[in-house]
Structure 1
């Protein structure tokens, strides 16, 4: 474990609590909390902790009530609430023209025209009405400080937020047609006018406006709302749609694209950090944070922390069982050794059906030739799929559709399948997703659903990519990798440790079969998704539970897990009494019901000594890491990498949490490419396996182990694959030609989802 210094967006707080912090104490009830806030909000802050309401004296006269002495060193929840309430009041006292968007995380938008990223591109009559404002979000977090002492601090992030200042009534009075727009209801919070922005709810689609009343089609039927409280949805899609109504489609595209480029603060990490530092050093750190109870703190402008971190081994890829078959470069490893399963993979001469439009045949035919045989003048893809993956040959059979619809695709596919020839994979000319509001009508997804139901994997290829000769080598290499993997191949594995314990890494996810994203949308049907990997990164198989309602979901998940573990124990010949370790990778915090599922799973396998770790991989968190000593190389492409940490840079937050950079400076390939946020690895306290160094190393290795790409991925492949499966199952929902039976049998061990 090394220790230096690392720059973050975490600005520490130094506390100055009194020797005896005295707060008012009341038994909790929601009614009493509302009553206290209504009566005494000007002078006191009230918050709930456990079964009690605590009141802190901020100004004016003290109120009556029971007094309690709080031990601040052992009451982190109370201290956190005090810090947040004091900050909120200090912000209101020191700013006159800003209304916060939310209390926690605390957020606000800059009132400066300079910080409106779209203003300069709009005609004068729209400036200030449509805005793309700079938004600041301030989160209270804790880390382990010196000698593991709890350290409080604020993380600060900057983003941009679309806004339309006029309600739908004002816009429609100007003659703008808003029928069909997504509508949000902005409901003012009682007693919070000028203190907090209205609470917003996405309702549904606007059908009409009559007598200042908006009629909105929602999942719960038609609702009628005061049109003055209704605004169009603050999304890029809605803003572009509004601009099309006001200007033209071409102008709308240009304005939105220019605003997006203008808002890319993170593409210059050094500048981004400088802006964070300026907000703290020029404003926030100069305010006084205190209560009349005697609780006080100071916000530091120094966000450089002791760099407590794990020493991680670099990724190596194994291409053969024998020694000396490892390489840090995937392309070089494949060129020298071939794929890991080159001696056992079948078929050695795959039959690949290619379906395209007649006008695309030339591009597809030429591209398939280069895909199989390579590009002799290329430094990146000189050897084609045939040589790289040690195949004897590849038989491409090109078929043309006569009608550009699902029936046209299906006709040629059925004609080809009706012959004696069987196909190991089908390449289909991709369609434009944006042309189909309902993806059930998208020919590509319907064709893919049909073929997968027949046990045949599918690969999409857009026609424009076959014409892109300059960058074709960077398309063909990952395309060949995906196709080989979809046919059941194992391109490489990761180094396996000489561990006496069996280790299985399980990616656990789920997808809701939603009817709509509006309020009240039906999301009761759930499908559980699991991916099972061995410690060397080999995908053993994927599985999904049957769709069920929430009440029965965990029973179905348990059945699915039991069936999978039974199969693993048989396939791997686990011995009685052997220690087997399960590391569960999840996107969301484990709830008690999910913990019980795993506990029941463990208890049901009495013949083995089972250890388990629940590891949450969080990408939606407020932490950022910066590196003053980063390469900063711009090269010929003028890519700015200043302050961007290298892949593998990590920071230990506490015994159970660690930040890890999975995509760093070397992964930034083009100008304007913003660095990825580090992932936050969180080990659940109920885990029986607690080696965070081992777990962090594992996440690091598995984040550069996707057989979809030659480059590192933001999240480990355990969850990346589960997420892809989830996405595809959602797209197949409602398609009549789809049956998941083949996915659980013939396709179970194939990477059909890549």
Structure 2
């Protein structure tokens, strides 16, 4: 039995008379200010809708309009009023934000719960809190065509809070420099974030970066902004060797709260609370009552929920070599392109700390050649699995004895540059790190420094930590499956595609993303790079493209220019002929605010495909939304006395929540890694109105198939690769910008067809 994470809303009243006025988006804020607090307003599609809150209200704008509360516009207006009314319903709580209405639990702290069994607690530990964070948002849903209704969704996450003063942290030798400061008490309209801490000067905190050039602030007015990174840095100092076990206890408390059983319990408590508060009085005499949990059921003649077919992995162009599991298929058939992969004997550079070179060489010999007879054949080696002839390693030890942590990146840089000056003919490289160096700052992190140099020479890099390569053989075999798949893909190989029957002459699936390039949260003028990844309909990766770096206001023009260039290249490469039917499906994750990407893409497609019949679909594919699904019949998977995946729906379930909106579950109960994880969120797929191809069943199944195409792992990913790859590229571009002498130019030339970012 599938349920949504919310409650049905019953509306008392059939219609509402409001004022409607056409207003430009730039004028909305000032218009609302002029109406003061006498009017409730909603802005929608270029019009401001106003409703007097009382009989004394004056100064209303526009003509009267009758809103029917059962149609889309009327429900949107009720939704907006209900969202605002949440502040009164939860009047005992101080909201964190108003839209969606968000508040923190007052009497529950996961740190305190985890510390109950901790002996000799550091006194400062009580200044670190992880509080449950509740978000309530009304949503207009359409489970069946033409049947609109309103629901109230509940989301549950956590807020990480550091209440310790800067002086208290410094006293405990916690490295505070570089952490962000926020105000303890924020005035209305005042920004919470102040700046980045540099050092203390008397009673003032001096700032490295800040808004409006501010260079200091009274330390009593600010505190460190809570985050997982701040907790890790601080609690490691406070707890020493007890840190790991303590954070495991924190994770267990989180699982009790946000896992299937815990979330179901919170939904039950919230439903009981809201039922007592019903009916809730809204403006204009409208009343709403909060009802039961939203049940998702199929009706005769229409299915709201459908289980999608799971495509098989494909290992040949004729689609005869198929398997339900990626690695088993690789082991049986070899990679998809085994007959055409040109690099049969890749030369692989092995960059490793000199102190661990012996252990690393032994481990990577097993990676290349397999484990022989010491284990069952779970991993037959990189060469045999991918049908390669040889893969000679060229060791490059990095001398780190006596090198300061801040100079480790320089040591890697010098060793690699000296080696490449003598010989740069390598097809790939391994870059091995000591654990204590893996989290050094980006500017001198050996992972990023080595990657920047090697990528600049057109050499894709596979990273690994020494601790990973020296794990037990059982764990290593599973790790090596993922490493081998990623390395082969980085060298330009195609491990597998999906079984996909083509119904048109050509089909492309294009991921659209962007990277915000900034060294600081305080820079006013951010720079952006557009990221495009292009796949065939069966998931075969074609290319990636980075636009030129640009200002925010120039991004639409740069995106259009880049999209047209990519489509023209693919048109020529795939030899589109006049009159052919070509389907182009675009996936976008989180478009820039106020940038109409769908309009830009539609015009680009029209320009390039004027000779062809183009079927065009633009989808927003997101995990950032209000919906969670629960399968109340799923009792979980029990292994080693732990049960995981309780109430997690099966992978491949799709649910209609709007005429052009679907939820798709990409993580099933068997894929949940641990019992102490939150319920996985489904993908939300929304089809843009500009689209000419509108088969959402096909498009939803395609999105699900593309979650099996990540060559970072032999298991499906949470996101489709169109979205995942763009986000990986964006993350690396942002981090590599901190490294001296880095230039992304090579990514559009030598590495354009490589999956260098895996």
Specify the TM-score bucket, using the shorter chain as the normaliser: 0.7 to 0.9
Asked whether 1:392 is paired with 2:396, we answer no
1:450 aligns with 453
User: Does 533-542 or 636-645 show the bigger shift?
Assistant: 636-645
User: Does 676-685 or 114-123 show the bigger shift?
Assistant: 114-123
Contact 1:169 1:228 in 2 (8 A): no
Structure 2 residue corresponding to 1:513, chosen from 517, 522, 540: 517
The alpha carbon displacement at 1:359 in A equals: 2.3
- How do 1:466-505 and structure 2 match up within 5 A? 466-469=469-472, 470-505=474-509
1:139 aligns with 137
- How do 1:590-601 and structure 2 match up within 5 A? 593-601=596-604
Give the direction of change, closer, same or farther, for the CA distance of 1:32–1:717 in structure 2 (3 Å limit): closer
- How do 1:96-107 and structure 2 match up within 5 A? 96=92, 98-107=93-102
Instruction: Describe the SS at the equivalent of 1:509.
Output: strand
1:80 aligns with 79
Structure 1 residue corresponding to 2:336, chosen from 336, 340, 349: 340
User: Does 701-710 or 315-324 show the bigger shift?
Assistant: 315-324
d(CA) in 2 for partners of 1:279, 1:695: 35
1:110 aligns with 105
1:15 aligns with 11
Instruction: Describe the SS at the equivalent of 2:285.
Output: coil
Contact 1:655 1:692 in 2 (8 A): no
- How do 1:706-745 and structure 2 match up within 5 A? 706-745=710-749
Structure 2 residue corresponding to 1:262, chosen from 229, 249, 253: 253
d(CA) in 1 for partners of 2:685, 2:15: 37
d(CA) in 2 for partners of 1:635, 1:435: 32
Contact 2:636 2:646 in 1 (8 A): yes
Give the direction of change, closer, same or farther, for the CA distance of 1:584–1:101 in structure 2 (3 Å limit): same
1:506-557 CA distances to partner (integer Å, 9 max, x unpaired)?
111111110212xx32452211111100011100111111212223333333
Contact 2:175 2:233 in 1 (8 A): no
Asked whether 1:652 is paired with 2:634, we answer no
Asked whether 1:439 is paired with 2:446, we answer no
Contact 1:457 1:487 in 2 (8 A): yes
User: Does 549-558 or 684-693 show the bigger shift?
Assistant: 549-558
Contact 1:507 1:719 in 2 (8 A): yes
The alpha carbon displacement at 1:339 in A equals: 0.9
- How do 1:543-562 and structure 2 match up within 5 A? 543-562=545-564
d(CA) in 2 for partners of 1:114, 1:736: 42
Contact 2:282 2:288 in 1 (8 A): no
Give the direction of change, closer, same or farther, for the CA distance of 1:218–1:322 in structure 2 (3 Å limit): closer
- How do 1:243-282 and structure 2 match up within 5 A? 247=238, 249-250=240-241, 255-265=246-256, 268-282=259-273
Contact 1:167 1:231 in 2 (8 A): yes
1:412-437 CA distances to partner (integer Å, 9 max, x unpaired)?
54565466783211112125586665
Instruction: Describe the SS at the equivalent of 1:264.
Output: helix
Asked whether 1:321 is paired with 2:317, we answer yes
Q: How many residues align?
A: 729
The alpha carbon displacement at 1:21 in A equals: 3.2
Contact 2:180 2:195 in 1 (8 A): yes
Contact 1:615 1:682 in 2 (8 A): yes
Give the direction of change, closer, same or farther, for the CA distance of 1:482–1:34 in structure 2 (3 Å limit): same
Give the direction of change, closer, same or farther, for the CA distance of 1:282–1:753 in structure 2 (3 Å limit): same
Structure 2 residue corresponding to 1:565, chosen from 542, 567, 575: 567
Give the direction of change, closer, same or farther, for the CA distance of 1:691–1:349 in structure 2 (3 Å limit): same
d(CA) in 2 for partners of 1:534, 1:175: 54
Instruction: Describe the SS at the equivalent of 1:472.
Output: helix
d(CA) in 2 for partners of 1:316, 1:174: 55
2:296 aligns with 305
Instruction: Describe the SS at the equivalent of 1:400.
Output: strand
d(CA) in 1 for partners of 2:261, 2:565: 51
Contact 1:186 1:200 in 2 (8 A): no
2:353 aligns with 357
2:755 aligns with 751
Structure 2 residue corresponding to 1:423, chosen from 412, 415, 426: 426
1:201 aligns with 192
- How do 1:665-680 and structure 2 match up within 5 A? 665-680=669-684
1:159-216 CA distances to partner (integer Å, 9 max, x unpaired)?
22223457769999999996654211255455xxxxxxx9652121235677976554
d(CA) in 1 for partners of 2:153, 2:207: 39
2:380 aligns with 383
The alpha carbon displacement at 1:603 in A equals: 3.4
2:618 aligns with 614
1:238 aligns with 230
Give the direction of change, closer, same or farther, for the CA distance of 1:541–1:216 in structure 2 (3 Å limit): same
5+ residue gaps, structure 2, are: 299-303
d(CA) in 1 for partners of 2:20, 2:283: 16
- When normalised by structure 1's length, the TM-score is 0.88
Give the direction of change, closer, same or farther, for the CA distance of 1:569–1:69 in structure 2 (3 Å limit): closer
Instruction: Describe the SS at the equivalent of 1:598.
Output: helix
The alpha carbon displacement at 1:494 in A equals: 1.4
The alpha carbon displacement at 1:738 in A equals: 3.2
Instruction: Describe the SS at the equivalent of 1:158.
Output: strand
Instruction: Describe the SS at the equivalent of 2:262.
Output: helix
Instruction: Describe the SS at the equivalent of 1:293.
Output: helix
d(CA) in 2 for partners of 1:557, 1:449: 25
d(CA) in 2 for partners of 1:171, 1:466: 36
The alpha carbon displacement at 1:71 in A equals: 3.0
d(CA) in 2 for partners of 1:206, 1:312: 51
Instruction: Describe the SS at the equivalent of 1:8.
Output: strand
Instruction: Describe the SS at the equivalent of 1:333.
Output: helix
- How do 1:118-157 and structure 2 match up within 5 A? 120=116, 123=121, 129-145=127-143, 147-157=145-155
Instruction: Describe the SS at the equivalent of 1:483.
Output: helix
User: Does 380-389 or 461-470 show the bigger shift?
Assistant: 380-389
Asked whether 1:461 is paired with 2:464, we answer yes
5+ residue gaps, structure 1, are: 191-197
d(CA) in 1 for partners of 2:245, 2:195: 28
Contact 2:582 2:615 in 1 (8 A): yes
The alpha carbon displacement at 1:496 in A equals: 2.7
d(CA) in 2 for partners of 1:104, 1:421: 54
User: Does 230-239 or 328-337 show the bigger shift?
Assistant: 230-239
Instruction: Describe the SS at the equivalent of 2:538.
Output: coil
- When normalised by structure 2's length, the TM-score is 0.87
1:606-636 CA distances to partner (integer Å, 9 max, x unpaired)?
2222232111111111211111222522033
User: Does 8-17 or 377-386 show the bigger shift?
Assistant: 377-386
The alpha carbon displacement at 1:596 in A equals: 4.0
Give the direction of change, closer, same or farther, for the CA distance of 1:114–1:364 in structure 2 (3 Å limit): closer
d(CA) in 1 for partners of 2:485, 2:690: 39
Structure 1 residue corresponding to 2:278, chosen from 254, 278, 287: 287
Contact 2:602 2:690 in 1 (8 A): no
Contact 1:214 1:227 in 2 (8 A): yes
User: Does 532-541 or 735-744 show the bigger shift?
Assistant: 735-744
The alpha carbon displacement at 1:465 in A equals: 1.3
1:687 aligns with 691
d(CA) in 1 for partners of 2:74, 2:283: 19
1:194 aligns with none
Asked whether 1:602 is paired with 2:605, we answer yes
1:529 aligns with 531
